[in-house]
Amino acid sequence: MSTFDRGAWRRGARVFRPRRTVPAVVAAVLLAAAGILTLVQAVASTPGSPVRVAGLDRAVDWVTARWVDPATVAASALALLVGLVLLWCGLSPGRPRLVPLASPDPHSAVGITKGAMRRHMAAVADDVDGVSRARVRLGRRRMDVSVSTPLREPGDLRERVAGAVEHHLEELAPLRRPKVRVAVRRKGR
């Protein structure tokens, strides 16, 4: 973790964080719909207004509605639920969709999808002598590489795979370098 530059990571990750477009569209449409309904109701209710909206008055009988009515409680619970979801979307920055990489140019941000990084690292591990199959799992701070080998005596295979993966990680330069763990499995052949 000594090489981890938090500021650089945050700047790099910002570009790849979710923009919250879907919750924003949902909330904006709901807000606009509520505004338009209220506006129509207000115009219809203004004394002397020629506008009459049939049905709107009867949608909810406000005069007799009580706080303990099941419909009121259900609507309140729904508002609370939607409110909490929107609040969470607004307050949490969300995880970056791509793995941010170091960029020598301050005006550009570079990122790689987790799939591409996984595939590349699996190919790197696969190229090591004695490896017959490699699989990579990528966590937030950890990269688990599991390789299969037909060798009876794998010897230093684990170290060689780790070395190759570390070397290519250095080349790729993710802003937050994952910790590499290698597991070697002998293939019964």
Interaction residues for other proteins, span 10-49 (CB under 8 A):
14-15, 17, 19-21, 23-25, 27-29, 31-32, 34-36, 38-39, 41-43, 45-47
C-beta of 188: minimal distance to other proteins in Å? Answer: 18
Interface residue with other proteins, options 2, 50, 55, 64 (CB under 8 A): 64
| Site track for other proteins across 71-110, x = CB under 8 A | -xx-xxxxxxxxxxxxxxxxx-x----x--x-xxx-xxxx
**CB < 8 Å & 24+ apart, contacts of 147-155:** 147/182, 147/183, 147/184, 147/185, 148/184, 148/185, 148/186, 148/187, 149/184, 149/185, 149/186, 149/187, 150/186, 150/187, 150/189, 151/186, 152/186, 154/130, 154/184, 154/186
**The two structure tokens encoding residue 176:** 């937050």
189 contacts: CB under 8 Å, gap ≥ 6: 150
23 or 154: CB nearest other proteins: 23
6 or 66: CB nearest other proteins: 66
Residues 139-158 that bind other proteins (CB under 8 A): none
76 or 139: CB nearest other proteins: 76
CB 118 within 8 A of CB 136: yes
Q: Does 51 bind other proteins (CB under 8 A)?
A: no
Rounded to whole angstroms, the Cα distance separating 76 from 63 reads: 18
Query: Of 2-10, 57-65, 155-163, 176-184, which segment contacts other proteins by CB under 8 A?
Result: 57-65
43 or 186: CB nearest other proteins: 43
Helix (H) or strand (E) holding 40: helix 21-45
Interface residue with other proteins, options 10, 119, 179, 187 (CB under 8 A): 119
